[in-house]
Structure 1
Amino acid sequence: MVRKLKFHERKLLKKVDFISWKSDSNVREARILRRYHIQRRDDYTKYNKLSGMVKSLANKIKELDPKDPYRNQVTTQLLEKLYSMSLIPTRKSLALCEKVNTSHFCRRRLPVVMVKLHMAQRVSDASKFVEQGRILSLLPCR
């Protein structure tokens, strides 16, 4: 059993951030988690993996012969998919796929979109609305 912390110990622990340690080099991760108000770190790691997959797929497509019809087909499919997800601004070049990062996925979350549409003032307020069930996503229910 752990003893109860004394007053001065609690005051000192308020100033310590256990999420972002400089030695862990996850300062960028903590900043993104805080900016987009993501409660679960698993979501961030999933977005990070997705962005890594998109970048590696774009690099593999670039390695194919430029005259290959399969390359053109796959490039068009990838650009169309990323454009429809609003991760890239245009469908013009494969270079845009290499610039997709975790923040692009975080910007597509419902609370962030609500702030862009002026339905809430802050991302934290919007995420509270979503958590409380006041705002429902328009995804089809199965």
Structure 2
Amino acid sequence: MFTVLVTLDVLPERLDEFLSGIQQNARACLRHEAGCLRFDVHRSAEDPHRFHLYEIYRDRAAFEIEHRSAPHYAAWRDVAARCVRPGAHVNAFAIPAFPEDLPEIPRPSRLRRRQVVAPCTDRARTSRHTPPTGWRSCQSRSW
């Protein structure tokens, strides 16, 4: 497992372009890169123009080869060049200190098509007509 932590400051006048670009990139990474296990985009609670990206890849090669050669990454680099304040982009790379303690990270695309998550319990169920465990606590919701 290989983790990429990115902090960057966005030019205020380019914020909308940045948000669109990073959303497209994050979604494309998860959809088209088998080695991308997670791609989270966070906005700073203190500075509305500072963002933190949290990316997890199967291994370093999945990041350096598969990710960096993807067409959506090239498009993202163009957006970042226009939108990120120069000198305000910091990358950090990490590996798990205790890999044996980490749970497996499922890729979103690996969920079965008919599997849904019950909104009241966060437990997976496979049929829309079978109420989840604890369904009485959320009877007001229509299934």
TM range (shorter): under 0.3
Higher fraction of helix? 1
TM-score (norm: length of structure 2) = 0.24
TM-score (norm: length of structure 1) = 0.24
Higher relative contact order (CA 8 A, sep 6+): 2
For the pair shown, the structure with the greater C-alpha radius of gyration is 1
